[in-house]
Structure 1
Amino acid sequence: MKAKAKIFVICMLLTGVLAACGGGGEETAATEEGGANAEGSRDNVTIKLHTHGNEANYNWKETLAAFEEEYPNIDVDLIILSEKGDTQEAMKKLDLAAASGEAMDVLMFSDPASYAQRVGAGMVAPIDEFIVEEGYDVHEEYKVDTSLGGKYYALPGKFNPWYVLLNKDHLEEAGLEVPEDWTWDEFMEYAKKLTVGEGSEKRYGTFFFGPQDGSWMEYLKLAMASEPENTEFLKDDGTSNLDSPFFRKTLEIRLKMEQEDQSVTPYTDLISQKLHYRNQFFNQDASMILIGSWMNTELGGTDQFPLDFNVAVAPYPKNDPNDEGGFTPVTTDFMSVASNSEHTQEAYTFIRWYTTEGQLIQGKNIPSWNKVSEDDLDRIVDTILSGTNNPEKVDKASLLKVLSEAKSSKMTSPASYQAEVYKVISEEYEKLIFGEQDIDTMIKVSQERVQDVIENNG
């Protein structure tokens, strides 16, 4: 366990929050008391759901009503930790609730780091026994791998893969087809052909929104994220992954596109002008944007960002034409059972239902559940696009194809000091892109600095 996680656990021990998280005896007793079969239990049970998700984004009223109708013996007490959906605010409140010994049953995390940190702190119970009892393969059931250290502590809710948004009008002008399967080399060729004009009138083939002082680091993992595993700067065992050939390849892509092809908005413009991907795409200053599919709700244009052109979607590029493809960065909601829950069976029953049938009823996002039918996916996409101003301008077929074929790589357990690693690599990248060092030097210095971070947090 890393240093910061250890401190977190010690704080929690001092406040007594881990008193019920110890040997598992209480969990077993609670399971027996609540009944091994939640549906067959005679006693009504109320479980508490702590979430960052507000009503507008998660449609809780309808979703929970449907669950309680199917499981009449389980009531869900919804505790929204941030009415504005602020995940940082939600995690602070969740930690305070845990430290005060507040009753918890179902916990919802919005990102791998928040999830892994609370698992390391002992707030989250493993759910492997329930999975084994039910008898399904998590890899076959869901698109997102949520395992940590060989155990499962969560099931995935929504499925937000990254993809490439395309200005379809620009493609047609350049005589280019909407890609259904492509490589980074082809992505670079498209960007070159889509780049037109000079000076202040120049329109770039693409725009990368990062890195920015340690944030938006997806843009320094381009080729890494196309692989089925080892997609982070650190490996699962905590050692550096900066010797990965795909890290080097990412740097080569960024350098070539900016300095040789001049097909990407200059990094200096991104930083000095504080450019944003929404403006760059909807104002047609860039023809392709690599971004997450949270953009589904905006694809047809909004009042803030009107759409004056046709939009298509392409998959995340792969490294080699013979690669399996489909791998991409993915965001999800990690649905977990609290380790101090007195109703672990009922809590698991809820997260299993919520991550399957519940996602279809909620109707706000694409589910991670693999058993979503084509008709269900079509209906959900229609519902999402209908909330935009011009859904008819969206190439729905390309969107459906990308969403149905995308999949997440094996999750790497985030280190508690991950932000420090990100900042180091971001700083060294700036020196590279500003011509202060070459790729070999950047990798060497980054490796040395990251190793210092690892050792200082060991």
Structure 2
Amino acid sequence: MNFWKKGIATALLVGSFGLLSACGNGDKDKKDGAASDETTLTVTTWNYDTTPEFEKLFRAFEKENPGIKVKAVDIASDDYDTKLTTMLSSGDTTDILTMKNLLSYSNYALRDQLVDLTDHIGGLEIDPAKDSYSMYDVDGKTYAQPYRTDFWVLYYNKKMFDEAGLDYPSNLTWDEYEALAKKLSKPDEQVYGAYQHTWRSTVQAISAAQNGKNLVDPDYGFLKEDYERVLRMQDEKAQMDFGTAKSTSVTYQSQFENSKAAMMYMGSWYMGALLTNIDAGTTDVEWGIAEIPQKEKGKEIQTFGSPTAFAINKNSKQQEAAQKFLDFCSGEKGAKVLAEVGVVPSYRTDAINKMYFGRKGMPTDEVSQKAFKPEKIAIEFPLDPNGPAIDKVLQEEHDLILVGDETPDKAISAMEKRVKQETE
């Protein structure tokens, strides 16, 4: 299976094995007479209480490494990248930085705020995760180690389909998805056939993936058809309108787990959080997954996604202990921890995949298994020096389309003009 979209350069991971030979500052952990003292590693996280893999990885690492404790520096998800950028600009010494997405990662790497891990990684066994590692290549250097790899699937509420007398979704086209959403909606009860979250990626990233396009290149005419579908579904009340979702800060978890939406396409990371909430008794939703809708039937399944990684802050005073943490989380031991809680690890083998679907509550039907193995996963947003500026433009125009302030044609023209200006 071609797990990531062809054309993305594979990272050149070479060099001899050694602990942070290129770190410069060296390790500042407790030594000599202070060797018995406990070391505390700090790690940036987001929504710690509702993101189960953080605590599981932290506690498993502590058990494996007596004398080292791991403490979360938790940040609200929506503010994560802004806050982390501010922290690093002010010389913050938090040891380990979670790279929430590739866009922010490239920004920090190009600013020389992360430890260069290239030589160290060259001595590791990374074949089971090589596709994810390839995403972190910045001019031949790698500054992070991926531990989780996500891609987007379609979640659906079995009970809502049963009550409507409809078959569970499988290999839908976008037209079929829209038609199903209309049948399942009860707008008078604020219940919808579909929920689409407010992120621009819910339109732009999947459209780029299924049209073989690149969001960095200012040629966005391919987006028109997808935006027109979203606007139509809003007008038909087949899904909650964007303005309501945005102004009331609706969460995708509340919509799906409270049976307010029969279908929702979202990243595979949500499976772990959903299973955790079911175990905790905060939701009783009966759910399954299917392939994300496609442009045509009978073609290879195309979706989009992105890995998540840990990096070492160049200002960390405990880089040796931090490197141990990265190796644990990104390797086989960390993968087993993640698989047990329903989170897709970057490090994947047949044994790890078996563990993943062995998790209680995980759907194991044929359609779910197929959804878990898409033929092509395109990168959500390519690494680019102008990435943050391009992302800002695309999000702003996305919002203007979906609140009705601009037509798709006008907004797409503005996207192309503004992105060209940012990249010239």
**TM-score > 0.5, shorter chain as reference:** yes
Superposed, 1:222-301 pairs within 5 Å as 223-224=206-207, 226-227=209-210, 230=213, 232=215, 235=216, 239-243=217-221, 245=222, 247-259=223-235, 262-270=237-245, 275-296=250-271, 297-298=273-274, 301=278
Change (3 A) 1:441 1:428: same
Q: CA deviation at 1:112?
A: 2.6
Matched, 1:51 2:43: yes
Does the aligned pair in 1 maintain the 2:174–2:293 contact within 8 Å? yes
Q: Identify the match of residue 420 of structure 1 among 388, 392, 416.
A: 392
Does the aligned pair in 2 maintain the 1:228–1:327 contact within 8 Å? no
Q: CA deviation at 1:283?
A: 4.2
* Residue in structure 2 matched with residue 15 of structure 1 by the alignment: none
Does the aligned pair in 2 maintain the 1:182–1:318 contact within 8 Å? yes
Change (3 A) 1:223 1:185: farther
Give CA deviations for 1:100-131 in whole Å, capped at 9, x if unaligned.
Answer: 585x7644322333322211210123333334
Q: Identify the match of residue 125 of structure 1 among 100, 115, 127.
A: 115
Superposed CA RMSD: 4.4
* Paired residue secondary structure (2:135): coil
Matched, 1:409 2:392: no
Structure 1 residues without counterparts, runs of 5 or longer: 1-25, 35-42, 70-74, 211-215, 386-393
Q: Identify the match of residue 355 of structure 2 among 376, 379, 383.
A: 376
Does the aligned pair in 1 maintain the 2:42–2:96 contact within 8 Å? yes
Superposed, 1:198-209 pairs within 5 Å as 200-201=188-189, 203-209=191-197
* Paired residue secondary structure (2:303): coil
TM-score by length of 2: 0.71
Larger radius of gyration: 1
Letter in 1 for 2:392: E
Change (3 A) 1:416 1:97: closer
Matched, 1:448 2:420: no
How far apart, CA to CA, are the structure 2 residues paired with 1:269 and 1:97?
Answer: 34
* Paired residue secondary structure (2:388): coil
Does the aligned pair in 2 maintain the 1:47–1:105 contact within 8 Å? no
How far apart, CA to CA, are the structure 1 residues paired with 2:239 and 2:204?
Answer: 17
Give CA deviations for 1:221-242 in whole Å, capped at 9, x if unaligned.
Answer: 264254496553xx2xxx4242
How far apart, CA to CA, are the structure 2 residues paired with 1:203 and 1:400?
Answer: 28
* Paired residue secondary structure (2:289): strand
Q: CA deviation at 1:355?
A: 1.1
Give CA deviations for 1:206-262 in whole Å, capped at 9, x if unaligned.
Answer: 12232xxxxx21233264254496553xx2xxx42424x2x2232132134334x55
* Residue in structure 1 matched with residue 105 of structure 2 by the alignment: 115
Letter in 1 for 2:220: L
* Residue in structure 1 matched with residue 184 of structure 2 by the alignment: 195
How far apart, CA to CA, are the structure 2 residues paired with 1:94 and 1:423?
Answer: 19
* Paired residue secondary structure (1:367): coil
Q: Number of aligned pairs?
A: 384
Q: Identify the match of residue 220 of structure 1 among 182, 203, 218.
A: 203
How far apart, CA to CA, are the structure 2 residues paired with 1:27 and 1:403?
Answer: 35
Q: CA deviation at 1:142?
A: 4.0
* Residue in structure 2 matched with residue 352 of structure 1 by the alignment: 327
Letter in 1 for 2:337: I
* Residue in structure 2 matched with residue 62 of structure 1 by the alignment: 59
Give CA deviations for 1:286-328 in whole Å, capped at 9, x if unaligned.
Answer: 3212223443323564878543x53221222233335432523
Q: Identify the match of residue 325 of structure 1 among 296, 301, 316.
A: 301
Letter in 2 for 1:220: V
Q: CA deviation at 1:158?
A: 2.5
Change (3 A) 1:89 1:162: closer
TM-score by length of 1: 0.66
Q: CA deviation at 1:370?
A: 1.9
Does the aligned pair in 2 maintain the 1:145–1:408 contact within 8 Å? no
Does the aligned pair in 1 maintain the 2:312–2:319 contact within 8 Å? yes
Give CA deviations for 1:363-400 in whole Å, capped at 9, x if unaligned.
Answer: 44331212253332134x32xx5xxxxxxxx7454656
Q: CA deviation at 1:64?
A: 1.8
Change (3 A) 1:162 1:49: farther
* Paired residue secondary structure (1:209): coil
Does the aligned pair in 2 maintain the 1:109–1:115 contact within 8 Å? yes
Structure 2 residues without counterparts, runs of 5 or longer: 1-18, 28-34
Q: Identify the match of residue 154 of structure 1 among 134, 138, 144.
A: 144
Matched, 1:367 2:335: no
Does the aligned pair in 2 maintain the 1:166–1:288 contact within 8 Å? yes
Does the aligned pair in 2 maintain the 1:49–1:107 contact within 8 Å? no
Change (3 A) 1:178 1:151: farther
